[in-house]
């Protein structure tokens, strides 16, 4: 599941696992805003707000391991890259936590649970399973697709991410990650011919016109 860890100077790429990334969640309905002097300012949802306004937002900081979701070329060329939070499997999956906490549970039973719930596509489309990695001090975890964040690709941020890279997925795992991402974001089917108007749908139901008989 893992490849050799790239050297610290190597460019970021999809499947990199990064340690010690701080992020936060913002209340968009009533964010606590502050001006450049640290004075609280009111939030007016009717007025545009840009970086030029120099407003800070107070959020509760969280630190976590994350995985890079952006493709390799985007890591080098885009102003932001996408990352997703890693959550320990025992914290994400209560059923697995109960099994892991029960001394009578066999390795086979836990392996079957992982296979049924995470290897089987579509069983848990919001999570991608990662096995433990002793070299990175990484326990069994999942990538939480519902907790995706963006990081600005400044020189300082990129250097920090590279320096705190602890593991990298091998090619097979990256291909599977791409498949699971597509499944998560595109798993809702549409109605047949939903793009057509009612008149166009009715026209499709009409029998084909027959050519006039030849004498």
pTM above 0.85, yes or no: no
**pLDDT (tens digit per residue) in 136-182:** 999 999 999 999 999 999 999 999 999 999 999 999 999 999 999 99
Q: Where are the domains of the chain?
A: 10-21+64-187
Q: What's the confidence (pLDDT) of residue 84?
A: 97
- At residue 15 the predicted structure's pLDDT band, cuts being 50, 70 and 90, is very high
* 3-state SS class at 205: helix
Distance, in Å, from the CA atom of 1 to the CA atom of 173, rounded to the nearest integer, reads: 6
Kindly state the tokens that stand for 21. 């990334």
**pLDDT (tens digit per residue) in 112-128:** 999 999 999 889 999 99
Q: What's the confidence (pLDDT) of residue 53?
A: 79
> Does the pLDDT value for residue 49 go beyond 80?
no
Kindly state the tokens that stand for 136. 């990175």
Share of the chain above pLDDT 70, in %: 95
Distance, in Å, from the CA atom of 52 to the CA atom of 196, rounded to the nearest integer, reads: 44
CATH fold of 10-21+64-187, please?
Answer: SH3 type barrels. (2.30.30)
- 8 Å CB contact between 95 and 146: no
Region of residue 20 (left: phi > 0; alpha: psi -120 to 50; beta: else): left
Q: Among 89, 67, 24, which residue's Cα sits nearest to residue 164?
A: 67
Evaluated on CA atoms 11, 12, 15, 19, the torsion sign reads: positive
């Amino acid at each position: 599941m893992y490849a050799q860890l790239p050297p610290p100077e190597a460019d970021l790429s999809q499947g990199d696992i990064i340690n010690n990334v701080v992020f936060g969640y913002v209340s968009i309905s009533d964010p606590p805003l502050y001006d450049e002097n640290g004075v609280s300012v009111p939030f007016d949802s009717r007025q545009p707000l840009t970086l030029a306004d120099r407003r800070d937002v107070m959020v509760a900081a969280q630190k976590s391991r994350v995985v890079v979701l952006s493709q390799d070329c985007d890591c080098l060329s885009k102003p932001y890259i996408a990352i997703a939070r890693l959550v320990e499997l025992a914290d994400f999956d209560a059923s697995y936590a109960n099994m892991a906490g029960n001394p009578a549970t066999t390795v086979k039973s836990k392996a079957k649970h992982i296979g049924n719930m995470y290897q089987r596509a579509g069983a848990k489309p919001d999570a991608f399973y990662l096995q433990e990695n002793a070299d990175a001090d990484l326990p069994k975890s999942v990538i939480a697709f519902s907790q995706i964040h963006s990081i600005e690709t400044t020189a300082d941020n990129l250097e920090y991410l590279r320096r705190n890279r602890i593991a990298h997925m091998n090619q097979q795992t990256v291909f599977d990650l791409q498949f699971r991402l597509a499944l998560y974001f595109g798993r809702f089917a549409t109605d047949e011919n939903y793009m057509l108007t009612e008149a166009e749908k009715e026209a499709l139901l009409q029998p084909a016109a027959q050519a006039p008989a030849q004498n």
